[in-house]
Structures are given as C-alpha cells and as structure tokens.
Amino acid sequence: MDDINRYIDQNKERFLQELFQLLKIPSVSADPVYAQDVLNAAEFIKNNMETIGLDNVSIEETPGYPIVYGEKIINPNLPTVLVYGHYDVQPPDPLGLWESDPFEPVIKTTEEHPQGAIYARGASDDKGQMFMHLKAVEYLLKNNKLGVNVKFMIEGEEEVGSPSLSWYVKRNHDKLKNDVILISDTGMIDNQTPAITTGLRGLTFVEVEVTGPNRDLHSGLYGGAVGNPANILAKMIAQLHDDKKRITIPGFYDDVMELSAPEREEMKKIPFDLEKYKRELGIDEVYGEENFSVLERQSIRPTLDVNGMWSGYTGEGAKTIIPSKAYAKISMRLVPNQNPDDIAEKFEKYFKSIAPKAVKVKVTRLHGGDAYITPTNFDGYKAAAMAIEKAFGKKPLPIYSGGSIPIVPLFEKELGTKSILMGFGLNSDAIHSPNEHYGIFNFLKGIESIGYFYDFYKQIKQ
Ligand code: BES
Ligand code: MN
Ligand code: MN
C-alpha cells in the first residue's frame, strides 16, 4: 500500500471527527445572526493549520469576514502552490426539509454512496473539500514529503460573492505570490468518472423592485383599476424568455463564445443518463434552450433565472389586497466573453423598457463575476490529471461547470496565475439545498489525489 493510503487508513476516523467539529459551526456568511460562528470557523481553521505544522498562520482582518492564511516555505527557490477554499456556508433554509440537523453531521449510505456520506451544510461546499487539503498537507509535513512550497488562503465570504477578497488580494500580491492555485470547490461526473473543471460560468445577480400604489389596497375596491405590481412583475419576468427559451434582452448574446462543432462533439463523450437525471429531480421533462443538450444548457450557455420572488400577503389563509410592491432576485449565469457589468446594464435598460407606466421599477445589482476557462496543456493541469489518474485508476475528463467562482478570474488578473479546479463533489451532493452531503469515498480519494498532486507537480517543474 502507498504511504499516503496507509496514513489515510490509520487516521480517517480522526479526519472525520475533525471535519465534524468544523461542520458543527454554523458559519453562514449571508446572515448576520451567525457572525460569531463565522469567526469561530475561522479560528478552527487557524488552529488546524497550526496543528498540522504550517508557519505564519494568521487570521487576516478584512472589511468583512477574515481570511485565514498559513504557509510552509521549504525553499524560496522552489515552486509555490496556493490553496484557496472557503469556510463559510450557505444558509440551511428551508430547515423543515432536512432529514437531520444541518449542523449536526451524520453519516448515511445512499445509492450514490454505498460507503457512506456526511450529511451537513457545507459538507461538500466547501468545508469537506477544503479540509481535504489540510489533511493531505498534514500527511506531507508529518512525513517530510512536501517537495514544493505551499500557501493556504481560506476565506469566509465566498457564498456572498467574496466582497473582501479582492481588497485582500490587491494588498497582498507578494505574500500570495505563487506558481499555481489549487482549489477543490467543484465536482466530478460520478465516482467512477473523475474530472477537472476547465470552465466556470460568470454571474450577474440583480434584485428588482416593482412599485405600484403607495400602499396595499383593498382588492375589491381598487382591483381592476390599479396596476398590480405582482401581476405586472410576473408578466415582465415571463417576457425575458422567448418560445425557444432564449433570453430576450437586446444584445444579451452579443459576446457569447460559441463552442466549435468538434468541441461540442467532445462534450457528447461525457456520460449522462437523462432518465436518472429526471428521476433524481422528480421532473417529467427537462426544459431549456432549443438545440442544446442538457449538459450544454447547464454549462456553456448563459441563463436567466428567478431565484426568489415575493409580494403581498403570503401568510395563512386569504387576505384581499393589491400589494404595493413586488420583488424578485434574478441571476444571470454568463459564459466567456460576456461582461457582468455590461449584462447588468442591458438587463436594467430592457427591464425598465418593458414596464407599464402604472409601476415604477428599481434594479439593484448584488454581485457578479467573470466566467473562466483554464487550458489543459499547462504544468498544473498535467500534475492534477496525473494525480487523479493515480488515485482513481482513470484519467480525469476536462469539464465545463455551470457554477461560478468569481475570484478565480480575479486571481488570474491580480496574481497572474491559473487555478486548477480539482473538485471531488457530485451534482447529487445537494449543495445549497437541504440534505447537503459529501461522500466519504470522495473525501478520502480527494486527500489521496491532493497528496499525489504535490509529488507530480514537483516532478514536472524540475
Ligand atoms: N462551490 C460553488 C461553485 C461551484 C459548485 C462551481 C459546483 C462548480 C461546481 C460556490 O461555493 C458557489 O456556490 N458559488 C456561487 C457564486 C457566488 C458568487 C455566490 C454560485 O455559483 O452560485
Ligand atoms: Mn463553494
Ligand atoms: Mn456555494
């Protein structure tokens, strides 16, 4: 047995116990109620970094939640790997749909995970995945096997759009100097089909407010004569797609990078089971832009989706009113080379243009980020592919993912280096949903793969 596998085998109970401690901390960055917990999670990471033997470990203050930094510089002349991850999590809502407490991790077996999966908010996104890096580096340090320098930068605001990270990165170019960035915050195809994510979508997120009368009105006395902002908002949103499910905002597709026919052929090689997909989601049919496959729709095509919508009375029973206001939160997932600011402007202009005079419309931008593509022919990718192949006995497929990690393009701009998205989650992990989980197989294979990465990276760079 390989050394690292022996180490994993001897220590996996402790690894899981430590991860459970971290998962018990409800570090929800979106909700100020959890502010102290977010700080406690940072403290936990700091302590773990110290325990495994990293140097210069510190909780770095920012205008928002801190970034936890730690490093091991074995020789300044050797290449440096920068590990990025996040210790914050999404809100656990809706709580009623969790089969167990989101912050009391439990292990359960499923069809996908015969060896068991850890159920807790953040298990896969991203505490479980980020923690694999600490454990892999723990192994390398304890056994004197770290062959390159490593720096860790773990943030606490990823799930709210990383508002402080660019502030921090801009002020710490030297400290964060690296040759490659390694991130596990994405997924694979299934447990027999490992992958490296080579594309991420960008994002423009807006909130819209539609205002009608200056107060809620009796829907009998005024109904029929006054514009109802809820009705109108629904109609406006419906107008944002045409019958072919294309987005109607003028100029929306102007800068979209279209994949070539050979690239689209290549994508067809990715295993995909439509029946299983529908069964898992409880849907009778899929729905999306004409002439594109499901995998294409959810990765290389831009989208527009309502993420939340509210207006009027939503409590028990009936209340007869015409609401004064209606709101929606809308995300647009972008592909290269769409620009998030440009798209936000185009959205606002069009959305206002389709509003009847009976209402006023306000559009507020919440956050955004660029899409990202990483090449497959550079040393970091090669080392990651070799590491995964050694751990899984199978070459990873390069895949485009539909999710967004806006700081990845920012790192490239600020630090000049590329990120390798070496993720071990599955789509069925239910990230951002109730009953989020992460396979124990994935957790342990991830640690093993990351351990090999450092060896191969050193070899390739020599
Ligand atoms: N880890 C996810 C992104 C992800 C997951 C990418 C799976 C690819 C595969 C990350 O934590 C996330 O949720 N990002 C947000 C964006 C952010 C600005 C809130 C997203 O994609 O919605
Ligand atoms: Mn994440
Ligand atoms: Mn997330």
* C-alpha 2 – ligand 1 centre gap (Å): 33
- Using a 6 Å cutoff on CB, does residue 409 contact ligand 1? no
Is 155 close to ligand 1, i.e. is its CB under 6 Å away?
no
Distance CA 332, CA 258 (A): 17
Ligand 1 centre distance from Cα of residue 300 (Å) = 15
What does the pLDDT read at residue 311?
A: 98
**Strand 397-400 with 195-200, pairing:** parallel
Cα 158 to ligand 3 centroid, rounded to whole Å:
7
Domain definitions of the chain by residue range: 4-200+371-461, 202-256+302-367
196 pocket-lining for ligand 1 (C-beta < 6 Å): no
Q: Closest ligand 1 atom to the C-alpha of 160?
A: 19
The finding on whether 159 has its CB within 6 A of some atom of ligand 1 is yes
**Rounded to whole angstroms, how far apart are CA atoms 344 and 203?**
10
* CA–CA distance, 104 with 101 (Å, rounded to integer): 5
Asked whether 227 and 201 are in contact (CB, 8 A), the reply is no
What is 4-200+371-461's CATH topology? Aminopeptidase (3.40.630)
Structure tokens at 429: 């992990």
pTM greater than 0.85: yes
Whether 404 lines ligand 1, by a CB cut-off of 6 Å, is yes
Q: Does the CB atom of residue 185 touch ligand 1 within 6 A?
A: yes
Residue nearest to atom 5 of ligand 1 (CA): 186
Q: What are phi and psi of 213, to 5 degrees?
A: -65, 160
Q: What is the CA radius of gyration of the chain?
A: 23
The bound ligand whose nearest atom lies closest to the alpha carbon of 86 is 2
Q: Same CATH topology for 4-200+371-461 and 202-256+302-367?
A: no
CA separation for the pair 148, 82 (Å, rounded): 11
CB-ligand 1 contact for 128 (6 Å cutoff): no
For residue 404, how far is its CA from the centre of ligand 3 (angstroms)? 9
From 155, 158, 299, 300, mutation site for ligand 1 pocket: most ligand atoms within 8 A of C-beta:
158
- Ligand 1 geometric centre to CA of 352 (Å): 29
Per-position DSSP letters for 333-383, written without gaps between them: EE-TT--HHHHHHHHHHHHHHTS-TTSEEEEEEEEEE--EE--SSSHHHHH
Q: 287 burial class (0-12, 13-18, 19+ CB within 10 angstroms)?
A: exposed
> What type of residue is 401?
S
The answer to whether residues 335 and 257 touch, using CB atoms and an 8 Å cutoff, is yes
Ramachandran category for residue 317: left, alpha or beta (phi over 0 → left; psi -120 to 50 → alpha): left
User: What separation in Å is there between the alpha carbon of 382 and the centre of ligand 3?
Assistant: 26
CATH of domain 202-256+302-367: 3.30.70.360
For the chain, 462 residues long, the average pLDDT of each consecutive 10-residue run is 90 98 98 98 98 98 98 97 98 97 96 94 98 98 97 97 94 98 97 96 97 98 97 98 98 96 91 94 97 97 97 97 98 97 98 98 94 93 98 96 94 96 96 98 98 97 90
| Nearest-angstrom CA–CA distance, 28 and 127 | 12
Is 211 buried (19+), middle (13-18) or exposed (0-12) by CB count in 10 A? middle
Which atom of ligand 1 has the smallest separation from the CA of 197? Answer: 8
Decide: 138 in ligand 1 pocket, CB within 6 A: no
Determine whether the shortest distance from the Cβ of 184 to ligand 1 is under 6 A.
Answer: no
Indicate whether residue 303 lines ligand 1 (CB < 6 A).
no
161 backbone φψ class: left, alpha, beta (φ>0; ψ -120 to 50) = left
* Cβ proximity of 81 and 73 under 8 Å: no
